[in-house]
Amino acid sequence: MMKIEVRNGAVTIEGYVNVTERLSKPIRDVRGNFLEKVQSGAFNSALQRNNNVELRFNHRRKLGDQQDGSLELREDSIGLYAKAIVSDAEVVQLAENRQLKGWSFGFRKLEDAWDKQENMPEVRTLKAIDVSEVSILSVNPAYIATSINVRADEGEDLLECRSNETATGTLEYDIEERKSDDEEETSNQKYHDILKELNA
């Protein structure tokens, strides 16, 4: 579940970015279709290697990071849990309009294992990964599987992005109603009317 709470012009978003040891929906790449899961403990190790994972919007714009306090991350018995506090106007607006869709994360593979079974897609187990960023999505997650080639000193480096909709499950919104100027004027008018009656 992804819980989205809007209060005082800021949005707090919490939930599971990925459930470990759970197979993804089919992903397609040059090898064909495959299923994928993150091994339990892989996120824990990744967070020890990088203690300042970035918080992004749709894998593009940076919203904050762990060190500025806008993002909390931890792996527990279910998977990678995240809590983000965002005051970015666009994200707050999307939250108020119930248009946020889920979480995603960007990673580089350090160690994986492929398991081939007859008449079944291959299963890829991510045993060790580096997590560079966690994203809040306004696009439909439907298990995003994108790979971005990043130029590194030693040649091409593959940054992969995943969004597991089975991890997000349902979205739960808790939005503080903002009073419009008209409402405030109306309530002020009622107050003035009461005063007028009392003084009459």
Decide if 150 contacts 159 (C-beta within 8 A). Answer: yes
Pairing of strands 102-115, 122-137: antiparallel
Decide if 79 contacts 17 (C-beta within 8 A). Answer: yes
- The predicted model gives 97-116 an average pLDDT of 91
Pairing of strands 122-137, 32-38: parallel
d(CA 90, CA 100): 11
Q: What is the pLDDT of residue 155?
A: 45
pTM exceeding the 0.75 threshold for the entire prediction: yes
Instruction: Write the DSSP symbol of residue 121.
Output: -
Decide if 54 contacts 134 (C-beta within 8 A). Answer: yes
Among 39-48, 154-163, 173-182, 185-194, the range with the most confident prediction by mean pLDDT is: 39-48
Phi then psi for residue 93, to 5 deg, are -60, -45
Structure confidence by residue, pLDDT tens digits, 8-57: 999 999 999 999 999 888 887 777 788 899 999 999 999 999 999 999 99
Q: How confident is the model at residue 158 (pLDDT cuts 50, 70, 90)?
A: confident
- Mean pLDDT, the chain, whole residue set: 82
pLDDT for 180 beyond 60: no
User: Is 129 or 160 the better-scoring residue by pLDDT?
Assistant: 129
Residue 55's domain spans which residues?
2-199
Nearest residue to 103 via CA among 67, 66, 73: 73
Domain count, the chain: 1
Q: What is the pLDDT of residue 139?
A: 80
- The predicted model gives 137-156 an average pLDDT of 53
d(CA 11, CA 92): 6
Looking at the DSSP bridge assignments, the partners of residue 172 are 3
28-32, 70-74, 89-93, range with the lowest pLDDT = 28-32
* Tokens 């597991």 sit on residue: 164
Start-to-end CA distance of the chain, whole Å, equals: 57
d(CA 36, CA 23): 5
Instruction: Write the DSSP symbol of residue 63.
Output: E
